[in-house]
Amino acid sequence: MELYQGSLEVKEIFGRWLDEQAASNYGAYVPFVGIIRAEDGIEALSFDIYEPILKKWFDEWQARAMERGAIVKMAHAVGDVPIHTSSYVSAVFSPKRRVALELIEEFVEDFKANAPIWKYDVKNGKRIYAEDRSTPMDGAGLLA
Amino acid sequence: MITVEFLGPINKAPIEMEADTLADVSARLKEDTELTQWLEKCAVAINDSMVSDLSVLLKEGDRISILPPVCGG
């Protein structure tokens, strides 16, 4: 798991991951790239991350992937990420394509629901919490 | 004494309090009207492990995190 200040260097990250696994004999490498779209007049999105719980969430996913003979990778941006650049990339390596294609969907969807990351729209230099696009994590409401 | 910290957009300084269980923490946080709107949407972690049971016994120095709705990517 990798965290970076600002936009991700997508080609460097994907190229490096590919090189790292060059001798691992995986038959499939499925990458996913999240790109900030220009909409509602935003200049950028901005992100807060709580790294200790993100790391645990990721490590649990890595263990699940390994049970299926695969590995998962991810990188995410912290702070402001301008439109048309990338804030999030992930990938799955597996011996055969089917596991990688299934896992990338499960991994990205659970990431959206349970990774401790908070998103803000940046408009006129101001950060506004993207509350309407955010999802309560599993177990939310315990203290209500 | 335990510490309660508020993550992401809640934007509130940590609070220290005496509490034996999460139920005690809940009762105390509900006294703050600014927080009540957040509590129903927030998940909870103790020392960075997510929890789902109010009866968990707390110990001296525990750190409780309040996690509002998320949106990565």
Residue A139 counted as domain residue: no
Nearest chain B CA: its distance from A9 CA (Å): 15
We report the CATH number of the domain holding residue A121 as 3.90.1170.40
- Assign residue A24 a region (left: φ > 0; alpha: ψ between -120 and 50; beta: otherwise): alpha
pLDDT tens, chain B, 73 aa long: 999 999 999 989 999 999 999 999 999 999 999 899 999 999 999 999 999 999 889 999 999 999 999 999 9
Binning pLDDT at 50, 70 and 90, where does residue A9 land?
Answer: very high
Number of separate domains in chain A? 1
Helix (H) or strand (E) holding A63: helix A51-67
Among chain A residues, CA nearest to B45: A53
Contacts of A144 in chain B (CB under 8 A): 26, 36, 39-40
Size of interface A-B (CB pairs under 8 A): 111
Q: What is the pLDDT of residue A132?
A: 95
ipTM: 0.93
- What pLDDT, in 10s, does the model give residues A101-128? 999 999 999 999 999 999 999 999 999 9
Contacts of B66 in chain A (CB under 8 A): 143
Residue whose tokens read 């260097």? A9
Residue A18 counted as domain residue: yes
Average pLDDT score, chain A: 97
Tokens at B18, concatenated: 């005496």
Interatomic CA distance for residues B33 and A85, integer angstroms: 39
Among chain A residues, CA nearest to B27: A143
Whether A42 contacts A124, CB under 8 Å: no
Interatomic CA distance for residues B44 and B35, integer angstroms: 14
Residue A138 counted as domain residue: no
All domains of chain B, ordered by start, with CATH? 2-67 (3.10.20.30)
Contacts of B55 in chain A (CB under 8 A): none
Q: What is the pLDDT of residue A97?
A: 96
Would the CB atoms of B44 and A117 count as touching at under 8 Å?
Answer: no
Q: Report the residue of B37, B48, B50, B70 to disrupt the A interface, i.e. the one with the largest count of A CBs within 10 Å.
A: B70
Q: What is the pLDDT of residue A70?
A: 98
Residue A141 counted as domain residue: no
Structural domain of A45: 2-131
Contacts of A94 (CB under 8 A, 6+ apart): A26, A27, A28, A65, A68, A69, A70, A71, A100, A103
Nearest to A140 among B9, B25, B43 (CB): B43
A96 backbone dihedrals φ, ψ, rounded to 5°: -130, 160
Interatomic CA distance for residues A25 and A95, integer angstroms: 7
DSSP string across B17-71: E--SBHHHHHHHHTT-HHHHHHHTT-EEEETTEEE--TTPBP-TT-EEEEE--B-
Tokens at A17, concatenated: 């991951």
**Residue A132 at interface with chain B, using a CB cutoff of 8 Å:** no
Binning pLDDT at 50, 70 and 90, where does residue A141 land?
Answer: very high
Please give the model's pTM, rounded to 2 decimal places. 0.94
Nearest chain B CA: its distance from A38 CA (Å): 15
Whether A89 contacts A33, CB under 8 Å: yes
Percent pLDDT > 90 in chain A is 100
